[in-house]
């Protein structure tokens, strides 16, 4: 029995071989710096500003109402809850796979009593036999000499890490989605108010034109043109009323709960709603973007699968061993001399598999190539998102300033046209043009401000921001499910 234990210990020591290829991170398929040009002037924030990853969403979003909505969403959103549960599921799968590295030891107790008829008995007499036994041992434990089980365990571990990064990515996307939905609702509310004000102005002009028409001063054409303006404004009013309601529904879905009753007063669109964040370098994305990190973990998992496929070509050794006691009498189980043991090693050597092992290895290598392409595509998409955000930051300021001047000029144009129309200096056509231009300019200003804000939010998301609640604090798990404790080197505790 001692020699048997020595053999088992020696096999366990020898099972340190690994056939996993050496992992090398693919070269980033993007430039070392973000694009330069007229669209990117002034797009980089000051160096002393915290990076997007460090900047907490409470410090990035200045609107207290938006902060409250994000807090509710992180607590109740179902997609985030599913992502957290997926982390738990992959953690359990890793623990299941890792358990195969160790022998399963179990205790077995059994008893048998058998009656043999006289005509079947060797003695020619009826016989009743009894046998009892108790044993402790392992069955079909694979000794991982060539690292097959270790490779599968490593692949499961990387999938677990990928699921955790996917949860982090879901949280970042949720924060940005809530912010964009909220800003869209505020923009539609602003358009709704502008439409109400415009409709009131159109109705006053229509009533004036109608009286002029009844007195024979205005023509029927002027009356119908004025009525057209009123009806167009009413249609816009219905449209924006519908959009505001739909925006609220979309926001409620993201929150995973109804609108909280304790919402504070929010800021207006023309106030400073978001903070500036520096872009950094493209190489920073490789460490800050959870979706890139998740893609790399899946690549590492595919790399480990190659090791398992390679190890399948080599002999597989399994061991069944047990020790215990046996006796014909239940009372004699633990008497001297009743001990028993079993040592049954088994080796399986693949000789002819009709090419299945080679096909499995080829499949594992192809999966790795697919994951390499996916990783590179994820990096390129991240680079493009940041570049688009920087281009928007570098141009929206000038666009908004020009649009604001256009609104001011259109307001002055409208006041002059209305005064000249009332005094009979200009025709109604001039007033009609002024009204249309002012309404269009006001809508365009609101849309431009919304586009600027959503582009800033998307840039914050693209740079990996949205995990921390406050600046400098470590990222914490959101949702109602935690990912469990971890052991050394980030591995989940067994």
Encode pLDDT of 428-476 as tens digits: 788 888 989 999 999 999 999 999 999 999 999 999 999 999 887 665 5
Ranges 174-178, 259-263, 367-371: which has the least confidence: 259-263
| CB atoms closer than 10 angstroms to residue 65 | 16
Q: What is the pLDDT of residue 129?
A: 82
pLDDT tens-digit map of 321-339: 998 888 877 777 777 878 8
What are the two backbone dihedrals, phi and then psi, of residue 52, each rounded to the nearest 5 degrees? -60, -40
Q: What is the pLDDT of residue 6?
A: 47
The residue-averaged pLDDT of 67-80 equals: 94
Q: How far is it, in rounded angstroms, from Cα 414 to Cα 292?
A: 53
Domain boundaries, the chain: 2-101+146-314+358-490, 105-143+316-349
Mean pLDDT of the chain: 87
> Is there a contact between 394 and 39 (Cβ–Cβ < 8 Å)?
yes
Question: Which residues sit opposite 318 in a β-bridge?
Answer: 142, 346
pLDDT tens-digit map of 81-123: 999 999 999 999 999 999 999 998 999 888 888 888 888 777 8
User: Is pLDDT above 60 for 75?
Assistant: yes
> What is the third-level CATH fold of 105-143+316-349?
Outer membrane efflux proteins (OEP) (2.20.200)
Q: What is the pLDDT of residue 1?
A: 43
User: Is pLDDT above 90 for 282?
Assistant: no
User: Is pLDDT above 50 for 4?
Assistant: no
* Structure-token match 């300021």, residue found: 397
Q: Confirm or reject CATH 1.20.1600.10 for domain 2-101+146-314+358-490, answering yes or no.
A: yes
pLDDT tens-digit map of 187-221: 999 999 999 999 998 898 889 888 888 888 778 88
């Amino acid at each position: 029995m001692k020699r048997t234990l020595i053999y088992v210990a020696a096999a366990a020591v020898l099972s340190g071989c690994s056939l996993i290829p050496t992992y090398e991170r693919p070269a980033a398929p993007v430039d070392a710096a973000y694009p330069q040009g007229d669209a990117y002037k002034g797009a980089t924030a000051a160096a002393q500003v915290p990076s997007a990853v460090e900047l907490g969403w409470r410090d990035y979003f200045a609107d207290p109402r938006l902060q409250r909505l994000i807090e509710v969403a992180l607590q109740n959103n179902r997609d985030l809850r599913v992502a957290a549960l997926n982390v738990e599921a992959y953690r359990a799968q890793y623990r299941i796979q890792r358990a195969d590295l160790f022998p399963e030891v179990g205790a077995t107790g059994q008893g048998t009593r058998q009656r043999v008829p006289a005509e079947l008995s060797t003695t020619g007499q009826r016989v009743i036999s009894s046998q009892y036994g108790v044993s402790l041992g392992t069955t079909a434990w694979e000794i991982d000499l060539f690292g097959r089980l270790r490779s599968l365990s490593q692949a499961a571990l990387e999938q677990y890490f990928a699921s955790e990064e996917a949860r982090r990515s879901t949280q970042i996307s949720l924060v940005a989605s809530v912010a964009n939905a909220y800003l869209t609702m505020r923009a539609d509310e602003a358009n709704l108010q502008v439409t109400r004000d415009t409709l009131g102005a159109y109705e006053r002009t229509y009533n004036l034109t109608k009286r002029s028409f009844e007195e024979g001063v205005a023509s029927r054409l002027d009356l119908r043109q004025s009525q057209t303006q009123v009806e167009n404004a009413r249609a816009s009013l219905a449209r924006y009323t519908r959009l505001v309601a739909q925006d609220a529904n979309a926001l409620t879905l993201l929150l995973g709960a109804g609108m909280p009753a304790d919402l504070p007063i929010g800021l207006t669109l023309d106030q400073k709603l978001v903070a500036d964040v520096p872009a950094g370098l493209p190489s920073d994305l490789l460490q800050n973007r959870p979706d890139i990190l998740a893609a790399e973990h899946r690549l590492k998992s595919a790399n480990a699968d190659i090791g398992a496929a390679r190890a399948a070509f080599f002999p597989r050794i399994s061991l069944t061993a047990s020790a215990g006691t046996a006796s014909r009498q239940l009372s004699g189980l633990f008497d001297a001399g009743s001990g028993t043991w079993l040592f049954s090693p088994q080796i399986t050597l693949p000789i002819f598999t009709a090419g299945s092992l080679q096909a499995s290895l080829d499949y594992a290598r192809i999966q790795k190539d697919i994951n390499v392409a996916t990783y590179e595509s994820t990096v390129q998409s991240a680079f493009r998102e940041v570049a688009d955000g920087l281009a928007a930051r570098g141009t929206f300021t000038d666009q908004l300033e020009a649009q604001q001047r256009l609104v001011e000029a259109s307001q002055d144009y409208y006041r002059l046209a209305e005064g000249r129309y009332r005094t009979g200096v200009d025709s109604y056509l001039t007033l009609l043009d002024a009204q249309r231009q002012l309404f269009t300019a006001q809508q365009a200003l609101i849309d431009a401000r919304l586009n600027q804000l959503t582009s800033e939010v998307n840039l914050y998301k693209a740079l990996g921001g949205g995990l921390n609640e406050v600046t400098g604090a470590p990222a914490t798990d959101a949702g109602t499910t935690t990912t469990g404790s971890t052991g050394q080197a980030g591995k989940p505790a067994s």
